Structure 1
Amino acid sequence: MSNKNAPNQIYQDNIFNEQVKNRFMEEISDDSKGPYERIFIRSSLVEASLNRDMYDFNIKEIENVLFHLKPKTAAASKSNISIISSYIDWAIEEGYRSNTINPMRYQFDNWAEKFLDDNIKLFYSKMEIDEIVSRCRNAQDAVIISLLFYGASGREVSELRNLRTSDVSLETSEVILTDDKDGQTRIIKVPSECITLIKQADMQTEYYKRNGHINPNSRNTKEVSQLIETGYVIKPAKTKTVHIEQVNTHLIYARLSTISEMFVLENFTVKNIQRSGMLYHAKEILERDGKLEKEQYLEICEQFGVGKVNNNGYESYNWHPMKEYINIDMIKQIYNENNLS
């Protein structure tokens, strides 16, 4: 194919030279685009600094991108390499790359292991959570993150899925949570911003797909889906399947997965959001009481519905394993609080 003049470089919506990359992704199904978009968002920082599209990088510059992607496993690293290599192959075929040799083809078999990141991010500070929530186009997504961070849990996140507006007290900022495991209810207090998100989520009638970033070249360019009123705060989108009750667990995980992909977040899972909330709650208690001992851990267990174990004939919170990741050292690390004792 004859050479073409590359179009003007674009740095928009966190993707460098977006028009070219969208052309490359035209043949990729919508369900498979997530990893490609994640890589292109990350690579944009390197591309912008060099003012060149990645398809024109030399091997050292490509390695810079691969390090920047911070893969946690060899399989993830190999996937990153495969996607970038296929993009460069496509650019050569389309005449974008000035050098018609793909430098990634001549690397050793264990090359992928070079880019593994040992510093796994598991916890998010309150400031980071607040920023993520503020970037959510859908209150339906934001409320999931907020409720998990402030204490909602239950079997298969049922305390989230079972929440109705009638379970929320605007005056006291208290929320009644119901667990599918035993049908038991409990009451937790949450900040006013969480209550506001619950109200906004309940009022939302349209859901913005992919946080409002639908590829214009996608076969389905409809930006929003209608939400179905079910009586619950978390609502499903209108599909061929009729929903009359609460959403399933898969919907919660799918919405978090989309936010994780769109915002390029590491390990942004139900468990890690909840544990991040526990860590923040522990920080608040430590600042209040000046210590983090059994009494304080039990208070965290109460807020987050930690499971109980049978101890000599009576049930008690299983708080000891929590100390492994909820402790003063971790609080200092996440919040840079060197004055905590």
Structure 2
Amino acid sequence: MGNKALEQLLFIENQCANAQDAIIIRLLMEGVEVHEIVYLTNDSLDPDSRVLTIKNHSGITIRKILLTTKCVELFQNAANQSIYILNNGYNPISKTSINLRDSHFLIKVSFQDYIANECMITEMDSVILRAIYTRLKRLAEFFSCPELIHLTTVKLEEKAYA
């Protein structure tokens, strides 16, 4: 990934009104796959050692990675987020925020996300995965960065984005 693309990702991350959105981008930059983000819980991170334990859908540890200090901070903020700001805070004529469902998962969904998919999705991990892609799509549109929709893990040099 080139410097321009990295600068754009860092800019978007810093402009996110929601820690929930920023942590998705940051985790992808630090080498965590989207399907791994789905199963992260509030206790997946040891903030003192900065070690993130990544588990699969069965709860079996797949791997552990060392996160940057910035990622740890975003992770903790995202884990504590209970209100999601819509449209990155830039739409004064419509509803500006929604409540997130209390959950042990890092990525929390709104009640509307869950109900909208209830008839076709039976597992919470599917709801979370759809929420991640929906948020990436909205950020891509908001920041005119279509590449964000197709962003996959990008393990970058730590000094470049620490």
What TM-score bracket applies, with the shorter chain setting the length?
0.7 to 0.9
Q: Identify which of 81, 85, 91 aligns with 1:208.
A: 85
Contact 1:158/1:178 (<8 A) preserved: no
Query: How does the TM-score come out when normalised to structure 2?
Result: 0.81
Q: Identify which of 137, 142, 145 aligns with 1:257.
A: 137
| Counterparts in 2 of 1:244 and 1:181: CA distance versus 1, 3 Å | closer
1:236 aligns with 2:109: yes
Contact 1:169/1:175 (<8 A) preserved: yes
Larger RCO (CA under 8 A, 6+ residues apart):
2
Rounded to whole Å, the distance in 1 between the matches of 2:42 and 2:67 is 14
1:151 aligns with 2:24: no
1:124 aligns with 2:5: yes
The residue correspondences of 1:61-80 to structure 2 (distance < 5 A) are none
What amino acid is aligned across from residue 249 of structure 1 in structure 2?
Answer: L
The residue correspondences of 1:105-124 to structure 2 (distance < 5 A) are 124=5
The residue correspondences of 1:18-33 to structure 2 (distance < 5 A) are none
Partner of 2:14: 134
Please state how far the C-alpha of 1:259 moved relative to its aligned partner.
Answer: 0.4
Please state how far the C-alpha of 1:224 moved relative to its aligned partner.
Answer: 0.5
Runs of 5+ consecutive residues of structure 2 not aligned to the other structure: none
Contact 1:158/1:180 (<8 A) preserved: no
Where 1:177 maps in the other structure, the secondary structure is strand
| Counterparts in 2 of 1:167 and 1:184: CA distance versus 1, 3 Å | closer
Please state how far the C-alpha of 1:263 moved relative to its aligned partner.
Answer: 0.7
Please state how far the C-alpha of 1:248 moved relative to its aligned partner.
Answer: 3.1
Q: Identify which of 91, 96, 113 aligns with 1:223.
A: 96
Larger gyration radius, structure 1 or structure 2: 1
Rounded to whole Å, the distance in 2 between the matches of 1:266 and 1:238 is 27
The residue correspondences of 1:266-281 to structure 2 (distance < 5 A) are 266-270=146-150, 272-274=151-153, 277-278=154-155, 280-281=156-157
Please state how far the C-alpha of 1:145 moved relative to its aligned partner.
Answer: 0.4
Rounded to whole Å, the distance in 1 between the matches of 2:99 and 2:63 is 32
Contact 1:138/1:211 (<8 A) preserved: yes
Rounded to whole Å, the distance in 1 between the matches of 2:59 and 2:69 is 29
1:193 aligns with 2:70: yes
Please state how far the C-alpha of 1:245 moved relative to its aligned partner.
Answer: 4.0
Rounded to whole Å, the distance in 1 between the matches of 2:49 and 2:105 is 20
What amino acid is aligned across from residue 124 of structure 1 in structure 2?
Answer: A
Spell out, residue by residue over 1:38-90, the C-alpha distance to the aligned partner (whole angstroms, 9 max, x if none): xxxxxxxxxxxxxxxxxxxxxxxxxxxxxxxxxxxxxxxxxxxxxxxxxxxxx
Where 1:236 maps in the other structure, the secondary structure is coil
Q: Identify which of 13, 31, 38 aligns with 1:161.
A: 38
Partner of 1:172: 49
Partner of 1:326: none
| Counterparts in 2 of 1:222 and 1:232: CA distance versus 1, 3 Å | same
Rounded to whole Å, the distance in 2 between the matches of 1:158 and 1:178 is 10
Rounded to whole Å, the distance in 2 between the matches of 1:255 and 1:208 is 11
The two structures, once aligned, show a CA RMSD in angstroms of 2.7
Partner of 1:298: none
Q: Percent identity?
A: 23
What amino acid is aligned across from residue 259 of structure 1 in structure 2?
Answer: L
Please state how far the C-alpha of 1:179 moved relative to its aligned partner.
Answer: 3.0
